[in-house]
Amino acid sequence: MLLLPSAADGQGTAITHALTSASTLCQVEPVGRWFEAFVKRRNRNASASFQELEDKKELSEESEDEELQLEEFPMLKTLDPKDWKNQDHYAVLGLGHVRYKATQRQIKAAHKAMVLKHHPDKRKAAGEPIKEGDNDYFTCITKAYEMLSDPVKRRAFNSVDPTFDNSVPSKSEAKDNFFEVFSPVFERNSRWSNKKNVPKLGDMNSSFEDVDAFYSFWYNFDSWREFSYLDEEEKEKAECRDERRWIEKQNRATRAQRKKEEMNRIRTLVDNAYSCDPRIKKTVSTQCSMTLVNNPTTCQHSKRLSFLILKQRQAELEAARLAKEKEEEEVRQQALLAKKEKDIQKKAIKRERQKLRNSCKTWNHFSDNEAERVKMMEEVEKLCDRLELASLQCLNETLTSSTKEVGKAALEKQIGEINEQIREKEEAELVCDKDPKCRESTWGRGNGGKNWSEDDLQLLIKAVNLFPAGTNSRWEVIANYMNIHSSSGVKRTAKDVIGKAKSLQKLDPHQKDDINKKAFDKFKKEHGVVPQADNATPSERFEAGPCTDFTPWTTEEQKLLEQALKTYPVNTPERWEKIADAVPGRTKKDCMKRYKELVEMVKAKKAAQEQVLNASRAKK
């Protein structure tokens, strides 16, 4: 079969026949699986050799998975499920010989094999006694897969791998066989490096530049190793927020101490290697020999000078490392100082507010009439909420150092000023409400920086409900979610989102209703249908998102749907008919579409969180 390349546009392919007649020109259309492979390579800008290497890589991975032999853990059946944190997860899954080099595909295959062999139902059918609840050793297999299938948890476990050798060779051990002693040590510690292409120790033939680059890399070693797996306290078990914060503080301090010890271990390793390296000594002796040829009397001086040069180089590397640590410490101290000052400010304001309340209480709120006292108490609370620290201190000083009449006059003056400010603000908002352009400008610019369209405002409300308080990096996740789903193309930062959310909280309820009403009108216009809404109150968490019959799902309906999904699992016959029966007023189609909406919502939430997490890792 003759394979021809595709002809260029406007050109043909000439075929010469071994005949006595003249040559003829004809159009040839390339077809077949070889042409299909060519098109795929062209679209990917890949050569044929690259495609072959990729195919071989896929085949090798598949063959590795097929050839993977699991090592049975002899102590598996004796493991205590309550002590799962101290078990070797790789050994439990039979991957003790592969360990951190195991791929996710291999981990999944190993877990499947262990489940088929050790599942309680399998063993029960074979007549083996089974422990009730989570006391069976099969729980250890589940925990091992849970740890190793999650990249974050797996990295935490890999950092404290029980089989890893943390020992550092001493100078005396490497006196005669430097490379045999230190090469494997640097090789196994290179797995902790954040940077790829870790330089090798080399041999006696390595150039001085390679040796210098090696020690420069290790003196500035950037390690990803962390010790969160060894946390003694779990913050999830805390009963309140204060206890959770205390646990986090204790864990952070313990991790920092272990990290410091780890970096000291690496530093000791590099110092010992540098002191024993025969190539460094050879450099010194070479310089001394060259000096001896030129001037024999200065050999000792040259040797001393070379030694000082090497020590200076080592000191420079140490100084660079210390400078970097000092800079990081200064940034941390500045953050702590700013937080401390903020806490002092909050405590001072709280103290002055209480002092103002007590002063007014001492003077019986400057009135003998019960109604007037209640009104004065309300005005005092208004002052506490709106006055700054300096104003509160000045007012408290006046109340404590003057008579009742003077104190009352100062208090009423301050109340009058605050009420005047409130009245002016309300009048401005009223004027702005009557002017659509002004209202749109106020909503659009608020405290969020860039222009905010009505679609963006509705998307922000949806995102705030979708990612409730307590979500990790909540405002970064909300900003990322908006950047993905917004049609305006404007990129929002976490600061923009926080500012706009705060301004929306201060809006009048009528303005919020106006935002929701415009969004609902747009929804009707896009779908060309007038929805039939009942008098039920829509769920705040699920108010955004299309419904099948265009009727909002109420909070009660949402709870019934969630309970029905738990009651009737996936393998239940006629599952959706039973779920629809459990939710009055909703059909099978309604429930299925609502479930799909919730799944998409959860996927979007996880995608936004994952993107923020990846961005934070990249910064580190």
- Which residue, among 190, 162, 185, has the nearest Cα to 174 in the 3D structure? 185
Q: How far apart are CA 377 and CA 383, in angstroms?
A: 10
Q: How far apart are CA 52 and CA 58, in angstroms?
A: 10
pLDDT over 50 (residue 535): no
Average pLDDT of the chain, as a whole number: 77
Which pair of structure tokens corresponds to residue 385?
């909420």
Q: How far apart are CA 273 and CA 281, in angstroms?
A: 12
Under a CB-based contact definition with an 8 Å cutoff, are residues 589 and 571 in contact?
no
Q: What's the pLDDT tens digit per position in 469-484?
A: 767 778 888 888 888 8
Under a CB-based contact definition with an 8 Å cutoff, are residues 105 and 153 in contact?
no
| Most confidently predicted of 54-68, 289-303, 404-418 | 404-418
Under a CB-based contact definition with an 8 Å cutoff, are residues 144 and 95 in contact?
no
Q: What does the pLDDT read at residue 538? A: 42
pLDDT over 60 (residue 76): yes
- Which residue, among 285, 284, 288, 282, has the nearest Cα to 307 in the 3D structure? 284
Give 447's pLDDT tier (boundaries 50, 70, 90).
very low
What residue type is 525 in one-letter code?
Answer: K
Q: What is the mean pLDDT of residues 193-206?
A: 87
- Which residue, among 551, 552, 459, has the nearest Cα to 501 in the 3D structure? 459
Poorest-pLDDT segment among 28-32, 242-246, 438-442:
438-442
What residue type is 111 in one-letter code?
Answer: H
Domain boundary assignment for the chain: 76-159, 178-294, 349-433, 466-506, 555-618
| pTM across the whole model | 0.45
- Which residue, among 211, 219, 182, 180, has the nearest Cα to 281 in the 3D structure? 211
Number of H helices, E strands in the chain: 23, 2
Q: What is the CA radius of gyration of the chain?
A: 36
Q: What does the pLDDT read at residue 186? A: 92
Q: What's the pLDDT tens digit per position in 567-576?
A: 888 888 888 8
Which pair of structure tokens corresponds to residue 296?
């024999």
Q: What's the pLDDT tens digit per position in 119-146?
A: 888 888 888 888 877 678 888 899 999 9
Poorest-pLDDT segment among 9-23, 38-52, 69-83:
9-23
Note the CATH number of domain 76-159: 1.10.287.110
Place of tokens 């450099």: 283
Note the CATH number of domain 555-618: 1.10.10.60
Which pair of structure tokens corresponds to residue 403?
């008579």
